[in-house]
Amino acid sequence: MNAALFFGGAPEASASAPGRVNLLGEHTDHNDGYMLPVATPQRTEVALSLSHDGHFHFYSATLDSHVTFAHDSSAPPGFGSYIEGCIRLVQARGVAVPPLRVFCQTNLAVGSGLSSSAALEIATLRALRNLLGFDFDDVLLAQIAQRAEIEFAHVNCGIMDQMASSLADPDTMLFIDARTLEHRLVPLPAGTTLIVIDTGVARKLAASKYNERRSECQEAARLLGVKALRDVTDMAAVEALPEPMRRRARHVVSDDLRVLEAIEGIDGARFGELMNLCHYSLRDDYEVSIPELDALAQALRDQEGVLGARMTGAGFGGACVALCRTEYAEQAAAAALARYDSRAGNGPRGRLLIPVPHEGKENDESI
Ligand code: GLA
């Protein structure tokens, strides 16, 4: 069903928001640290109109799934939880939100670790802001979206994905300080382009391992006597921690330092090196990589023009990102994908996400 059919005409308000690809600073947000994502060119679109039957009606064209519930009850688990969470949290801030018809669709790869959930939340909040005229700023939208994800979708996330979806763009990095929410745009190294390829591996263990790592980081901070790992200055004390806290903390502290170095305006070669180091640290110290992510990152690194590559997002599946000299990007992406797909057996196959494949652009349907 398209939007015109769902609304029986034009919607009263609409908005869109991107996903994110993180370049440096992974698993640092829940340690009050620093990160450096960009937005995806792919976006999620949400359109709204008032509902006149006392019920909320949500329709995802991407999933071809319809959810209906009375205004005083709640959405069943699934994509509706993200939308309902945003609505309820806006209501909790004193905005009267009437029953609505909500239509959403995305050209983001769902489940590739590019934060399609944050994109849905931010697009929903922007559409609500357009419809109802409240004046919440983009940082507050990110904070509400994060609460929606935690309280309604029961995902214990940090703030990076929602900040990136709300404030980043695809061509410039967004520096974020998770403690203060200070943020600013930082240019990509001159003459470089990003490549993003999905491993095709669904992120099964991600949620349970994410929470386990969070607890280990909290324990490391407690043992070090700091509020969060962002406050660590004494690396010798980190090295003296019991395992696995030593390695978890070493990843977080070193990745914060990589972000702080990267925003000083380093060249592409050094930036690429930092991305490689970030991957090795996530693989060996934080232990959230899997063989497919390692193989894909290496396939990318082996291509001419690629300056560095790493897994991006929470891990245990999802995508890799590489920084590439612009003139090599197209051929490097194709060759890395072919190399990854040529591994023995019937393993998962890769999928090029950025640069956006030509067919993807042609198939885009706007609301
Ligand atoms: C997920 C979470 C983010 C962040 C990343 C890891 O995407 O939603 O808050 O913690 O993992 O950097």
Radius of gyration of the chain (CA): 21
pLDDT at 308 over 50: yes
Distance CA 22, CA 142 (A): 16
Residue of 32, 64, 138, 161 with catalytic role: 161
CA 32 to centroid of ligand 1, rounded, Å: 12
CA 361 to centroid of ligand 1, rounded, Å: 27
Strand order through the sheet with 306-311: 306-311, 319-325, 192-198, 351-354
Residue 32: active-site member:
no
Q: What are the φ and ψ backbone dihedral angles of 321, each rounded to 5 degrees? A: -120, 140
Average pLDDT over residues 326-339: 98
Give me the residues paired with residue 177 across strands: 34
Q: For the segment 75-95, what is each residue's pLDDT rounded down to a tens digit?
A: 999 999 999 999 999 999 999
Q: Which of 27, 115, 316, 321 to mutate to test the pocket of ligand 1 (most atoms within 8 A of CB)?
A: 27
pLDDT at 364 over 70: no
Output the average pLDDT for the chain.
Answer: 95
pLDDT at 360 over 80: no
Do 177 and 190 meet the contact criterion of CB atoms below 8 Å apart?
no
pLDDT at 344: 66
Atom of ligand 1 at shortest distance to CA of 210?
11
Protein residue with its CA nearest to atom 9 in ligand 1: 158
State the Cα angle at 271 between 37 and 174, rounded to 5°: 20
Distance CA 93, CA 338 (A): 50
pLDDT at 363: 46
Quick one: tokens of 10? Answer: 């034009």
3-state SS assignment for residue 313: coil
Evaluate: CB of 336 within 6 angstroms of ligand 1.
no
Average pLDDT over residues 262-289: 97
Protein residue with its CA nearest to atom 1 in ligand 1: 314
Beta strands in 127-230 (DSSP E): 172-177, 183-187, 192-198
Protein residue with its CA nearest to atom 2 in ligand 1: 157
Q: What are the φ and ψ backbone dihedral angles of 123, each rounded to 5 degrees? A: -65, -40
Give me the residues paired with residue 50 across strands: 100
Evaluate: CB of 258 within 6 angstroms of ligand 1.
no
pTM here is 0.96
Evaluate: CB of 285 within 6 angstroms of ligand 1.
no
pLDDT band with cut points at 50, 70 and 90 for residue 205: low
CA distances from 187 to 148, 173, 236, 278, 321 (A): 31, 6, 34, 19, 17
CA 6 to centroid of ligand 1, rounded, Å: 33
Evaluate: CB of 322 within 6 angstroms of ligand 1.
no
What is the C-alpha end-to-end distance of the chain, expressed in Å?
A: 11
DSSP state of 326: G
Atom of ligand 1 at shortest distance to CA of 27?
12
State the Cα angle at 106 between 101 and 111, rounded to 5°: 115
pLDDT at 321 over 60: yes
Evaluate: CB of 29 within 6 angstroms of ligand 1.
yes
CA 313 to centroid of ligand 1, rounded, Å: 6
pLDDT at 255 over 90: yes
Q: Which of 161, 279, 310, 321 to mutate to test the pocket of ligand 1 (most atoms within 8 A of CB)?
A: 161
CA 161 to centroid of ligand 1, rounded, Å: 7
